[in-house]
Amino acid sequence: MKTKITHEVYLAEMYSKVGPTLDSLSGELLSALREKYRPADMKLRQAKKQTE
Protein backbone atom coordinates (compact mmCIF):
# COMPACT_ATOMS: atom_id res chain seq x y z
CA MET A 1 0.00 0.00 0.00
CA LYS A 2 2.83 2.40 0.82
CA THR A 3 4.23 1.93 -2.69
CA LYS A 4 0.86 2.75 -4.25
CA ILE A 5 0.51 5.93 -2.21
CA THR A 6 4.05 6.96 -3.10
CA HIS A 7 3.28 6.36 -6.76
CA GLU A 8 0.18 8.54 -6.54
CA VAL A 9 2.16 11.33 -4.88
CA TYR A 10 4.75 11.17 -7.66
CA LEU A 11 2.02 11.35 -10.29
CA ALA A 12 0.40 14.30 -8.55
CA GLU A 13 3.71 16.16 -8.39
CA MET A 14 4.44 15.47 -12.05
CA TYR A 15 0.97 16.58 -13.05
CA SER A 16 1.34 19.79 -11.07
CA LYS A 17 4.35 20.62 -13.27
CA VAL A 18 3.18 19.45 -16.71
CA GLY A 19 -0.58 19.19 -16.29
CA PRO A 20 -1.51 22.20 -18.41
CA THR A 21 0.65 20.88 -21.25
CA LEU A 22 -0.96 17.46 -21.01
CA ASP A 23 -4.40 19.05 -20.99
CA SER A 24 -3.66 21.11 -24.08
CA LEU A 25 -2.19 18.14 -25.97
CA SER A 26 -4.84 15.58 -25.09
CA GLY A 27 -7.87 17.83 -24.64
CA GLU A 28 -11.12 15.92 -24.48
CA LEU A 29 -9.47 12.50 -24.18
CA LEU A 30 -7.87 13.31 -20.84
CA SER A 31 -11.08 14.90 -19.60
CA ALA A 32 -13.02 11.76 -20.54
CA LEU A 33 -10.52 9.57 -18.70
CA ARG A 34 -10.76 11.76 -15.61
CA GLU A 35 -14.53 11.56 -15.64
CA LYS A 36 -14.43 7.80 -16.04
CA TYR A 37 -11.87 6.96 -13.34
CA ARG A 38 -12.00 9.81 -10.83
CA PRO A 39 -13.67 9.01 -7.50
CA ALA A 40 -17.26 10.22 -7.47
CA ASP A 41 -16.68 12.72 -4.67
CA MET A 42 -13.49 14.22 -6.08
CA LYS A 43 -15.29 17.04 -7.91
CA LEU A 44 -16.91 18.06 -4.66
CA ARG A 45 -13.57 18.04 -2.84
CA GLN A 46 -11.90 20.10 -5.56
CA ALA A 47 -14.72 22.63 -5.62
CA LYS A 48 -14.53 22.95 -1.85
CA LYS A 49 -10.74 23.55 -1.97
CA GLN A 50 -11.18 26.28 -4.57
CA THR A 51 -13.65 28.17 -2.38
CA GLU A 52 -11.50 27.99 0.75
Q: What is the pLDDT of residues 35-48, one digit of tens each?
A: 888 887 876 566 65
| CA 33 centroid distance within chain | 10
What pLDDT was estimated at residue 19?
Answer: 84
Instruction: Decide: 30 and 22 in contact? Cβ < 8 Å.
Output: yes
What pLDDT was estimated at residue 47?
Answer: 60
Instruction: Decide: 22 and 15 in contact? Cβ < 8 Å.
Output: yes
Would you give the DSSP letter of residue 40? Answer: T
- Quote the pTM value: 0.47
* pLDDT > 70? residue 14: yes
